[in-house]
Amino acid sequence: MATPTQPTPRRLQSPADLADDALGEIFLHLDSAPDLARASFACASFRRVITDHGFLRRYHALHPPPLLGILASGFIPAQPPHTSAIAARAFAQADAADFSFSFLPIPHRWRRRDSRDGRFLLSGVPTGRGYRRGDLLWITDLAVCDPVHRRYLLLPAIPADLTAAVHQPDIVDFETFLAPAAEDDKDTSFRVICLAQCAIKLVLFVFSSGEGRWHAVTFDDWSAMITGTGNTASTGTGNPASGSELSQRYYAHRCFYWLMHRRNKLLLLNTSGMEFSTVELPQDYTGEIAIVEAGKGKVGMLSLYSLIPHGMVRLSCAILQNDGEIANQWQPEEVLPLPENHRYDIVGVAGGYLLLQGIPEGVSLSHPPKNPNLTCFSLEVKTLHLELFCQTNHSILHAELYAGHPPSLSPPSV
């Protein structure tokens, strides 16, 4: 007769564990990261709870890092009276991050390609060799860096048996970017994606830090998607794109979105299954757009449009519906007037904020006056609260935004 299996006794929590759990629940309700950082220095027990990686993971999920500044020719911090100004000034004065990435040891010249969750993706070429067209399309030297903790990981080259999926002269565009780790991976895990856009197909090269290797995913329906015809990729017929079909990349809820130039659509990449699909855009959309994370797990679209001849600019918000009869349709929500006598450009999205640069009427950036007064505004996406972020005397288009918690609340990400 088999011996009955004895149930595993449950471990009872000690009074100290219960006290830590209670403290953790209290600290989760602190909206201000600087207040939480100050609390961590109050006593040893507070610091033990607050610096625990499990607690920080929960805190970061509830309280996205604030937008601290802009990486252009240098670090431009948020300026008073912006709500992030104090934290941004402390971050800049403490020299809390090395955005020159001088800690990279290999004699390369490095260029920033992307940033996400405190990590930066850089590509490099050896010193003494110039940037050639092939370097821009087929990058072999990649590094993922944590500028706060001065840590990095050099990625292995994409294996030749994977790159064989792409004939290099067929590449229309090639971009590299950071993606979130798989949902069951640990906190320090991440993925790097290289997207090769060819005339009739898309190829993803995906590096997982958890696995430490690359794999490739080929999407053969690309030509059908951009021409609106049946699947022509397998026959090699159709009308392949003569240039890059995709523009600015945006991220929301584990998905990437690109605007498709010749179609009234967005290309969507779901990183959970590495699957492509498309989303229709509103028929009447005009001007610049940004895809953002709206509340309750929904996807939002913010778009700029001008009221001609009144000279006023509006920012409209629409939410992508994901259920019911209006699934996959954009539902208009609000229209926000922007300060007058400016034209606006969307700089980017980070830390739950959209950043706009306002250019005064009559100012030309191709022939700018000496020390032009250009104003940046931040828009908190979930509340649509607009406030002045900083002032600059030069254009910051194509700059990167930096959002982060205080270093004491930011465990190493690499």
DSSP 409: G
pLDDT band for 305, please (50, 70, 90 cuts).
confident
Residues 6+ apart with CB under 8 A from 100: none
Top pLDDT among 301 and 8 is at: 301
pLDDT band for 62, please (50, 70, 90 cuts).
confident
Tell me the helix, strand and coil percentages in the chain, rounded to 5: 20, 40, 45
How do residues 63-72 score in pLDDT, each as one tens digit?
A: 888 899 999 8
DSSP string, 31-86: --HHHHHHHHTT-HHHHHHHT-HHHHHHHHHHSPPPEEEEESSSEEE--TTSTTHH
Rounded mean pLDDT, 52-71: 86
Task: Break the chain into its structural domains and give their ranges.
Answer: 98-127+137-224
Half-sphere exposure of 40 (CA within 13 A, CB side): 21
The β-bridge partners of 388 are 377
Nearest to 316 by CA among 340, 345, 287: 287
DSSP, collapsed to helix, strand or coil, labels residue 268 as strand
Measure the CA–CA gap between 407 and 148, rounded to whole angstroms: 7
Measure the CA–CA gap between 46 and 38, rounded to whole angstroms: 10
DSSP, collapsed to helix, strand or coil, labels residue 55 as helix
Rounded mean pLDDT, 333-343: 87
- Residue 232 has what pLDDT? 36
- Residue 223 has what pLDDT? 77
In angstroms, the Cα distances linking 356 to 193, 197, 345, 365, 388 are 27, 29, 6, 15, 10
How do residues 180-239 score in pLDDT, each as one tens digit?
A: 887 766 667 899 999 999 888 999 999 999 899 999 999 988 877 776 654 333 333 334
Top pLDDT among 306 and 309 is at: 306
